[in-house]
Structure 1
Amino acid sequence: MSWFKRSLALAVAAGTLAITAPALAAPPTVQPYNWKSVEVLGGGFVSGVVYHPTEKGLVYIRTDIGGAYRLDRATNRWVALNDDLKRADGQLAGALSLAVDPQDPNRLYMAAGEYTGPYARGGALLRSTDRGTTWIKAELPVKIGGNEDGRNTGERLMVDPVQGAVLFLGAKDGLYRSTDHGASWSPVETFPKVHVTLVAFDPVERTKTGETAILYAGFATSHGGGLLVSTDGGIRWGLVDGQPKGLIPHHLALDANGGVYIAYGNALGPNGVTDGAVWKMDPDSGAWTDISPIKPDAGDVFGYGGLSLDPAHPGVIVVSTLDRWGRGDEVFRSTNGGKTWKGLREKSEHDTGGAPWVRGLEGKAARAMGHWIGDIDIDPTNPDEAIYVTGYGLWRTRNLTEADRSGRTDWRFDDEGLEETVALGLVSPPNGASGGAPLVSAIGDIGGFRHDDLDSARGSRYFAPHGGTNRGLDYAELAPDILVRTSDPTPTGGFHSTDGGKTWTAFASSPPRGSNPDTGRIALSADGKRMVWALRGAPPYVSSDDGRTWRPVQGVAPGERLDFTPVSDRVNPSRFYLYDAAQGAVLASTDGGESFKTTAHNLPSGRSLKAVPGAEGELWLPTNQGLMRSTNGGDSFKAVGGVDEAGLVGFGKAAPGQTHPAVFVWGKVDGVEGVFRSDDVGKTWIKLHDERWGFAELRALSGDPSRFGRVYLGVHGRGILYGDPPADGAAPAKN
């Protein structure tokens, strides 16, 4: 018998994947949904702010994993500018730097990329002539680390203020130049191979070809950093004499006379900065002056991050501390060029606006200003407006100059439209006795929510305790008021709720956690009486007493790599399943998770196994080779026709006239990428969006059991979206 036939016979005997798929489904039709954000507001690191120097009210922000935004002054909402990115370009949501053209307010440039490691996508320069509404992509000869250390510094992408076709871009390996509005790039060969943190033009002189002659570039090395200058339009570079030693320039601004102001830290940030200063250089004499508001010491370690000047009022400067974890970060203001300073925190008022959860996140009174204040900017057309960034969003004031009179400044969490969370788990329980919310989320870094009102963060309940990064999330299908969630930084790693997520109680204990803080995934039995929990890199454990005690499940083979996802049957409380990603296998339990047996193996590489509500033993597995379905408790799987790849799968209310829940999938159907719905158990598929949405990376997906057609998406770095079919009931169109 041949190897192939022998392997096939063994696979059939073991009850593994049925490779033969049913007849191919019809090509997907398109029915663009109405998409809205589930309002959280902020929730991620805003790494920089860029005002246009002359166009009144035009301001952009950049984020490390959520792209760029523009403020719509008419609605006072931030408009996302990169929602069309597709999977191949998902890492371009890392906005390392933004640049505006001082002569053309419609032009916008974005240095895009999240990482610079060996498996990262190459960087790209996104260019727009309509303020970010549409983009043209130019591949860069260098990778871009928009979510790496130093993303808080800048700006390192700059447009020549007198020759708009000329741009400079600082990267981790030096400086690059474009002369065609960013369409093509070449390295500046005379520039050293160092990590560039910022680029700045001083427009007081021009070259013979009409370009700005004087440029500055801040850089970092393993031994500190420094400031380089060019006086011939960027052809030759040299170190600026007399500058501070051992510090890295984070932000730089020039006054009308060419005076240079720099905020320094001893590390790239946004973490790990323990020293820093603010310095001023006189361009005529070359003299440097330390104008730091306060100096770090052994009992008060921090650096300086943001710095901005008011161009209409010489001598006005604002700076921010960075990583002042002990005493809390501060914003300082000077009106005399840094001779004297006034701290703003003590008399500041902070209005959380529509996001009262912010106070629950920060907690300590000393954290009133927030953390990771890597940038602060004064509106160059309005001296009363300023924005500073934090690790969870931004704050804006409209009475900055009041600090010069009474000392008070009023700041608001003006993050409407800005959604940068990473939802790692989404569930939509059917209404329970306590009046279930339509959605419950587990979110990285900030915790999660019971979303009583999808359109209002204020009208929803923030987890208390929030528990930092929450990963695992499940509810009891037959008792939906019972929920469980896992939480990385908390002592026992998990919480239990019996009122639909309104209140939470910490588990009394946890399985052995070792040194890995990742709390992995958890499954709750259909009646809410048992849990199976698999921490990352660990074997699964079971509890039958609400987490007071845990014991290892039986039947799981040891291995060098452990990667389990537990799933509960949505009908039978005694049935649990495990997807073993390391072995490509599914294991099943019929004794409440106490013991498991392998039922299927040699499965393609997959993601989260899902059980179907109302159908005992029905499982769906999204894989890189398609979507697999089992109707016999995991004994065998068959491929769903037409689905080429699947990343996530979920279920919602059945279509009228149907009994099986609607199926939602993020993946590729008949060669088309996107988010799809099937109302007939995978026979036909409908694509739920047009090209305005790319859905580059989803981390969670769920249908709604109470509302046909609704789907919830956890978009990496773009928060949570919910989509509904068009209200007019328009029929899907052929793709």
Structure 2
Amino acid sequence: MKKTAAVGIVLAALSGVRAAAPVNYTQHYTWKNVRTGASGGFVTGIVFSPKQKGVAYARTDIGGLYRLNSDDSWAPLQDYVNNTLWNEHGVDAVALDPNDASRVYIAAGIYTNSWDPYNGKIMSSTDYGKTWSRANFPFKFGGNMAGRQMGERLAVDPNKGSILYFGARSGNGLWKSSDYGKTWAKVTSYTAVGTHIVDPGDSGQNGDIIGLTFIAFDSTSSAAGTASKRIFVGTADSSATVYMSEDSGATWSAISGQPTGFLSHTGKYSPTEKALYVSYVDNANTYGGGDGYVYKYYVESKTWVKILDDNGTGFGFGGLTLDPQKNGTVMVTTYHQWWPDGNIYRSLDGGATWTTIWDFDWSGVQPPVKRRYDWDISQATWLPEITGDKTTGWMMGSIAINPFDSDHFLYGTGATIFGSHKLTNWDKNEKFTLSSLSYGMEETAVLGLTSPPQGPHLLSVVGDVGGWRHDNLDVAPSKAFLTPSWGTTRSIDHAGSRPNIVVRSGDGEGGLALSNDTGATWHIHASAGSWNGGRAQLSSNGDFVVWAVNNGLYVSANEYPFEKVPNIPSGSYTTANDRNHNGLFYAAENSNFYVSTNAGTTYTKKTSSIGYIREIGVNPFRAGDVWIATDTGIWHSIDSGNTISRVGPATDAYHVQLGKSATSNGYPAIFAAATIQGWAGHYRSDDGGYTWTLISDDSNGFGTPGNNIYAADPRTYGRIYIGTNGRGTFYGDASATSPVPTAADAYGQCGGQGFNGPKACPHGYTCKVSNAYYSQCL
């Protein structure tokens, strides 16, 4: 299983400047994660505080930073991320102050590619990550680039907490702060840049210079209150990969006698042994390394000793940790050992001898391994369907032993965090329990959502780990979608009048699957052929499938062979189905809006003048009622697209979906990600789209709207599901203590100092300011 890039990344942010809240009333919403029980994404770094027991952080490539709770669950720290701050969900490094547990720092930024418009920033917190200050850099960071599990490339001087060093990517070298991360300057005396590139011809994650990989201090090299004299810096450069300064960073030199031909992955310094441990791999490709070893550098004798070698077996070494309570105890993970499983090595004598978390067993067991541990995946029982049964995991880029508890360790994988509270059983040749311990860390890239009118309230599909049927939004599903089981699953949809029929498309063999029991069981569509991916949707009765794939639209009836729609040009299509009329399908490509009345067999263009079309939403309770989100706002038709008119004040919109009405005969609740009166956010309308209520807030931003996935609940008034690109799926309900806002009367008061009444006006009226004490609907 391999962690993909953030799927479908859309870099454009909603227009407008967030200078002041819109006139529209803001209704308080309660937002919760839809639980899956495990990260579902790549946990690239884990660090424990050496100062305060119980304080630890985990960083992810596209899901932000998390802090450990006392019950082994994790608390997200960056849910404020919105359309203007979305790159802060990429955490390229994390550092803690060894003498002040409240201080935490992160290097924030997702991509170094030219199509990422945002530079990186070092973010500082003095309250355990509750609030942040930012130091902006003149170049980009890469929390989702190749080599993202290396590190940590950000570190705090253990003798003088005001000093930090940061090792940059892209040839930008080493940077230093002397004022707790507020300002930074390049260390011009350090000239190595880490020139390794995974694939020089790649325009994506693998085509940039990896840069510097780790920073480590010798805390014994100076007294408290003065800058540490001895500092180590790792680079992704196989000719000279570890550099050292012995004069507090004034001068640097490559350490003599070091191994060549490999990249330094992780470096940890043992002050009691006066030795630097370094893990090596031959390639920074996130999904594969071919060779590697572990070396130890003794400072006093200035000698390097090879303490572990993979002997050319093709995996290299990645995460490395020391136990400060047990001198000479070191653990290291294999970088990418895919068969029969990833492995972890442990030594109690400074690397002289090693044992492994599993050993080969050729007695006939399958897979051929004998494990030291029992496996507990009770928090996410679906994990074996993705990772395999009893596995240690893959993409093990970070491992950490709790400095206050030698029995407690954690390591990150491409799907979860594993760990144990009985680690030292290993040393007694007794089994310990290896548990999935990432509850609360929802880190999936959501690609599709649908909320049927009966059965489970939600079905979801995601990148890398497939998807789920959510029978209880607050409890992890017992299993993932199977038969077929795909990693990245692209779309999911239910039939309007027969919601037990569900279709999903994905990247893998079969490519298209159908369910007749609302996602409980599946079979491959009889005519899927060799295609995969795309977006698939069902007719209301579930007998027709329209599949936007292979740069066109294709339709199949009753699992007969797909036929390409003949009368529309090739293109990348956005599609929607009418849940109350079996023949109605909608499609859009760029600014062209099409309607089919014969179950997707042919389409008629209705307009090309409403702007770039991003999403089509349909009223689940009324045929022919279609809504369109475009870069010019929200458009509406009540006659299946024959006439279309712009509705409401939105000037830009990414999503529009419809759910249950507040009353038995009222308008359905309409949800939109849009810019209204210059304010980009998530909104709800209860009056047909004329007035809107802001339902997102400063604590819940949901990242970039262009990467969100929307579904409205047809059974629960006010409930909206928002899928994110890295923080899983959220569901929001209107707070019971926050009444549904009503509009002021025509010509009635709508604002002013001390006014607590309705602040929205009826359709056709605008709230005009007369003075500081009175505004009126005119």
| TM-score of the aligned structures, taking structure 1 as reference length | 0.91
The answer to whether the aligner puts 1:69 opposite 2:92 as a matched pair is no
Take 1:696 and 1:362, find their aligned partners in 2: how far apart are those partners? 28
Find the partner of 2:99 among 83, 98, 103: 103
Find the partner of 1:718 among 718, 724, 727: 727
Partner secondary structure for residue 426 of structure 2: helix
Q: Over residues 463-504 of structure 1, what are the superposed CA-to-partner deviations in whole Å (9 max), with x where a residue is unaligned?
A: 443311111211110110000000112x22010001111100
Is the Cα contact below 8 Å between 2:470 and 2:477 reproduced in 1?
no
1:726–1:506 Cα change, 3 Å: same
CA shift, 1:608, in A, is 2.2
Paired position in structure 1 for 2:11: none
Which segment drifts farther, 33-42 or 654-663?
A: 654-663
Aligned residues: 688
Paired position in structure 1 for 2:562: 550
Find the partner of 1:524 among 516, 538, 551: 538
Is the Cα contact below 8 Å between 2:465 and 2:486 reproduced in 1?
yes
Q: Over residues 388-424 of structure 1, what are the superposed CA-to-partner deviations in whole Å (9 max), with x where a residue is unaligned?
A: 1100110121011111102422111111111101111
Partner secondary structure for residue 607 of structure 1: strand
1:671–1:225 Cα change, 3 Å: farther
Take 1:692 and 1:713, find their aligned partners in 2: how far apart are those partners? 15
Find the partner of 2:265 among 239, 243, 250: 250
Partner secondary structure for residue 291 of structure 1: strand
Paired position in structure 1 for 2:187: 188
Paired position in structure 2 for 1:319: 332
Take 2:300 and 2:291, find their aligned partners in 1: how far apart are those partners? 28
Is the Cα contact below 8 Å between 1:354 and 1:458 reproduced in 2?
no
Paired position in structure 2 for 1:152: 149
Paired position in structure 2 for 1:331: 344
Paired position in structure 2 for 1:211: 227
Q: Over residues 160-188 of structure 1, what are the superposed CA-to-partner deviations in whole Å (9 max), with x where a residue is unaligned?
A: 11111111111112111111111111111
1:704–1:225 Cα change, 3 Å: farther
Take 1:452 and 1:522, find their aligned partners in 2: how far apart are those partners? 23
CA shift, 1:460, in A, is 6.3
The residue type paired with residue 697 of structure 2 is D
Is the Cα contact below 8 Å between 2:53 and 2:404 reproduced in 1?
yes
- 1:615-654 equivalences in 2 (<5 Å): 615-654=622-661
The residue type paired with residue 552 of structure 1 is K
Take 2:279 and 2:583, find their aligned partners in 1: how far apart are those partners? 61
Q: Over residues 627-647 of structure 1, what are the superposed CA-to-partner deviations in whole Å (9 max), with x where a residue is unaligned?
A: 222222223432222112211
Paired position in structure 1 for 2:433: 410
1:409–1:82 Cα change, 3 Å: same
Is the Cα contact below 8 Å between 1:26 and 1:685 reproduced in 2?
no
Which segment drifts farther, 566-575 or 332-341?
A: 566-575
Is the Cα contact below 8 Å between 1:426 and 1:700 reproduced in 2?
yes
Is the Cα contact below 8 Å between 1:461 and 1:502 reproduced in 2?
no
CA shift, 1:614, in A, is 2.2
CA shift, 1:599, in A, is 1.2
- 1:478-517 equivalences in 2 (<5 Å): 478-489=497-508, 491-510=509-528, 513=531
- 1:295-314 equivalences in 2 (<5 Å): 295-297=310-312, 300-314=313-327
Paired position in structure 2 for 1:6: none
Take 2:578 and 2:701, find their aligned partners in 1: how far apart are those partners? 32
Take 1:206 and 1:26, find their aligned partners in 2: how far apart are those partners? 55
Q: Over residues 557-584 of structure 1, what are the superposed CA-to-partner deviations in whole Å (9 max), with x where a residue is unaligned?
A: 24xxx21122212221112121112xx1
Take 2:239 and 2:389, find their aligned partners in 1: how far apart are those partners? 32
Is the Cα contact below 8 Å between 2:702 and 2:708 reproduced in 1?
no
- 1:206-605 equivalences in 2 (<5 Å): 206=222, 210-221=226-237, 226-255=241-270, 256-292=272-308, 294-297=309-312, 300-345=313-358, 346-363=371-388, 368-431=391-454, 436-458=455-477, 462-489=481-508, 491-510=509-528, 513=531, 519-535=533-549, 538-546=551-559, 548-558=560-570, 562-581=571-590, 584-605=591-612
Give structure 2 stretches of 5+ with no counterpart: 1-20, 195-210, 359-370, 742-755, 761-778
Partner secondary structure for residue 92 of structure 1: helix
1:450–1:656 Cα change, 3 Å: same
Is the Cα contact below 8 Å between 1:422 and 1:699 reproduced in 2?
no
Take 1:202 and 1:48, find their aligned partners in 2: how far apart are those partners? 21
Paired position in structure 2 for 1:699: 708
The residue type paired with residue 245 of structure 1 is T
CA shift, 1:224, in A, is 5.9
Is the Cα contact below 8 Å between 2:41 and 2:444 reproduced in 1?
yes
Take 1:640 and 1:273, find their aligned partners in 2: how far apart are those partners? 54
Take 1:586 and 1:356, find their aligned partners in 2: how far apart are those partners? 43
The answer to whether the aligner puts 1:672 opposite 2:687 as a matched pair is no
The answer to whether the aligner puts 1:84 opposite 2:109 as a matched pair is no
Take 1:310 and 1:550, find their aligned partners in 2: how far apart are those partners? 60
Is the Cα contact below 8 Å between 1:141 and 1:185 reproduced in 2?
no
Paired position in structure 2 for 1:7: none
CA shift, 1:362, in A, is 1.3
Take 1:279 and 1:509, find their aligned partners in 2: how far apart are those partners? 55
CA shift, 1:606, in A, is 2.7
Take 1:463 and 1:29, find their aligned partners in 2: how far apart are those partners? 44
- 1:54-65 equivalences in 2 (<5 Å): 54-65=51-62
Q: Percent same amino acid at aligned positions?
A: 35
- 1:3-18 equivalences in 2 (<5 Å): none
Take 1:487 and 1:287, find their aligned partners in 2: how far apart are those partners? 52
Take 1:665 and 1:97, find their aligned partners in 2: how far apart are those partners? 34
The residue type paired with residue 273 of structure 1 is G
The residue type paired with residue 189 of structure 1 is T
Take 2:252 and 2:389, find their aligned partners in 1: how far apart are those partners? 46
1:267–1:461 Cα change, 3 Å: closer
Is the Cα contact below 8 Å between 1:27 and 1:685 reproduced in 2?
no
Is the Cα contact below 8 Å between 1:334 and 1:341 reproduced in 2?
yes
Paired position in structure 1 for 2:89: 93
Paired position in structure 2 for 1:613: 620
Take 1:209 and 1:362, find their aligned partners in 2: how far apart are those partners? 47
1:397–1:269 Cα change, 3 Å: farther
1:209–1:361 Cα change, 3 Å: closer
Partner secondary structure for residue 320 of structure 1: strand
Take 1:291 and 1:391, find their aligned partners in 2: how far apart are those partners? 27
Q: Over residues 336-369 of structure 1, what are the superposed CA-to-partner deviations in whole Å (9 max), with x where a residue is unaligned?
A: 111111111311122012201101101266xx10
Q: How big is the alpha-carbon RMSD for the aligned residues of Structure 1 and Structure 2?
A: 1.9
1:458–1:534 Cα change, 3 Å: closer
CA shift, 1:725, in A, is 1.1
Partner secondary structure for residue 644 of structure 1: strand
CA shift, 1:54, in A, is 2.2
1:363–1:460 Cα change, 3 Å: closer
Q: Over residues 283-329 of structure 1, what are the superposed CA-to-partner deviations in whole Å (9 max), with x where a residue is unaligned?
A: 1111111111x5242xx310101111111111111110011113321
Find the partner of 1:683 among 690, 710, 715: 690
Take 1:325 and 1:296, find their aligned partners in 2: how far apart are those partners? 16
Take 1:258 and 1:682, find their aligned partners in 2: how far apart are those partners? 68
Q: Over residues 23-52 of structure 1, what are the superposed CA-to-partner deviations in whole Å (9 max), with x where a residue is unaligned?
A: xx9832111211111111210000000111
Take 1:481 and 1:209, find their aligned partners in 2: how far apart are those partners? 67
Partner secondary structure for residue 384 of structure 2: helix
